[in-house]
A and B are shown apart, each in its own frame.
Chain A
């Protein structure tokens, strides 16, 4: 009834090629933006920010990044944790070396540095494919974590080997360190997420996204029709690592505040982000959001239900959580291998035909 193209006349090329061609989608998008920017910052408190909203925003950026690489370009990567660590450590080095510069610039620069590292570790993808590549990216994961653990220059020779985010501000508002108000950190992450999602959405609709998808679907055929695999794969690695680096920088500077690299950016993180991408849906920006929301929410819900409501010992809840997460992933893959995004697509298709069944 309301979710359809009919009656929504496009009168210019610009409106014909806009991101959300259907009016309902467009309004929904505006409503989400208004709620996220205009309402939540006024009602947010520390608990909500730290346990749900910040991790969701940051993981969503990482998931978008990984989705570009895995979902759009078909290059499976298990090095996400390592690349997040690159973002975090470059952000730390920049923050301590140039305390006067705005955090915006630091975070974006950390993304840039991560992109360079990502391209470096992406180079073997020209020769290695499939699982061999997935395992090869583990080299990045282990090497980078080891590097940040062992070379004291990266953690400024601090005795504990940890890095701690110093207090920095944007336009006079403190956004890192323990004194940062919840709404400011939230807004800062939200701005980055919005920008990343916009960039990703438009990149994947354009030439670049199409060459990525051609490489994903069949790389040899793509090469024959004139797609340059070097350029396509390297841009995918660069863009993906850029986003992952940004999320790593935010994860360290705004969310955790203090980081021990093996713990925060270990292999578990790589798997977590990959799960988000798969559960959300490969090759879908919305899927990245859905996957991140799902996997951030799940442990919190389990903890609230298991430990707080039923009063079970926390170690049993922690083990049960493993069982439930593992089980859910399997059930999900069996029921809907294309992820939450596919459910959303099916729902939209039904809406479009409503009230008729076919």
Chain B
């Protein structure tokens, strides 16, 4: 194999792994959009919020310590204990469910029946709000998140490929774990929506609100459920990205990475989110590898969007989206 081809293969592999992470974020969007028609811009900030809460609980930080200190002149920072990772994850999940309930109770319930753009704006407002609350609660400095996931170069792959090709592939252990977890998560979500009572109810609501209401499904409950599931997906994405690059503001920008994935895959399709994520992940890494150096690099910022844009011109509903039927 020529060197170029080997490099390209490595780039593709890494692209696939990055794509899985994009897909993970995109999943959260798709879930909420399918069930309630809300395009949840706050998904990225929810991932940030989840990751920050997880770190805060693990380190035993006092919530709102900054604010309390500023108002009362105290000097508290930590409770002085450390919570094991698994327990902290469960506690964080509880916080995310609480958040889902609050969002439904105080925001979305009052906006039922509004135009989609208004709902979308409300989630942008929510994103600002959550970001501010997360910073006030846990402080805005960059934190490291370590829940015991393996990290760093996978030596086995490096050795094996070196033995076969004479060049060791650099593949991060974390990416492999993320891929496995994402696959499990998708399988679990599919099983949940196909085989459980709540999952079926969720799909019914996604299909037709009024019909679902008329057969006795509680919309309120389903929407809290959907936001909780989206919160769970956000937590998983937050753990992955937080372990990879630290828990900081830029974590919330992964939402922007997920948008072209959604466009490509279609807003309403779970398999679409996965396939779209993989295409975008591979596409942008390959483009950066092949064309990037010619035009000054950092093409990852826009390549996904332009790809999705060109794609949409030919297929406006995305790869797997429901066919758009327009009537007067």
CB within 8 Å of B: which residues of A? 70, 76, 124, 127-132, 134-136, 138-139, 142-143, 145-146, 149-151, 218, 220-221, 224, 267, 271, 274-275, 278, 312-313, 315-316, 319-330, 333-334, 337
Task: Find chain A residues with CB under 8 A from B263 CB.
Answer: 132, 135-136
Contact A321 B125 (CB under 8 A): no
Contact B121 A135 (CB under 8 A): no
Alpha-carbon distance A196/B121, docked complex (angstroms): 26
Task: Find chain A residues with CB under 8 A from B107 CB.
Answer: 330, 334
Task: Find chain B residues with CB under 8 A from A150 CB.
Answer: 295-298
Contact A333 B125 (CB under 8 A): yes
Task: Find chain B residues with CB under 8 A from A329 CB.
Answer: 121-122, 124-125, 128
CB within 8 Å of A: which residues of B? 39, 66-67, 70, 107, 110-111, 114-118, 120-122, 124-133, 135-136, 140, 256, 259-260, 262-263, 267, 295-299, 301-302, 305-306, 308-309, 312-313, 316, 318, 324, 326-328
Shortest CB–CB separation between residue B88 and chain A, in angstroms? 23
Q: Given the interface contacts A135-B260, A319-B140, A333-B121, does A129 sit within 8 Å of B316 by beta carbon?
A: yes
Shortest CB–CB separation between residue B311 and chain A, in angstroms? 10
Contact B135 A333 (CB under 8 A): no
Contact A124 B313 (CB under 8 A): yes
Contact A319 B132 (CB under 8 A): yes
Contact B121 A146 (CB under 8 A): no
- Give the residue of A70, A142, A326, A333 whose beta carbon is less than 8 angstroms from that of B305: A142
Contact A333 B111 (CB under 8 A): yes
Extra 17 A-B pairs, beta carbons < 8 Å, given A136-B312, A323-B132: A132-B267, A132-B318, A136-B305, A138-B305, A139-B260, A146-B299, A146-B301, A150-B295, A150-B297, A278-B117, A316-B70, A320-B136, A322-B135, A326-B126, A326-B131, A334-B122, A337-B111
- Give the residue of A76, A312, A324, A334 whose beta carbon is less than 8 angstroms from that of B110: A334
Alpha-carbon distance A329/B122, docked complex (angstroms): 7
Contact B128 A326 (CB under 8 A): yes
Task: Find chain B residues with CB under 8 A from A334 CB.
Answer: 107, 110-111, 122
Contact A322 B128 (CB under 8 A): yes
Contact B309 A316 (CB under 8 A): no
Contact B305 A322 (CB under 8 A): no
Contact A330 B328 (CB under 8 A): no
Q: Given the interface contacts A313-B70, A316-B136, does A274 sit within 8 Å of B309 by beta carbon?
A: no
Alpha-carbon distance A329/B41, docked complex (angstroms): 14
Contact A128 B125 (CB under 8 A): no
Q: Given the interface contacts A136-B312, A329-B121, A337-B114, does A322 sit within 8 Å of B132 by beta carbon?
A: yes
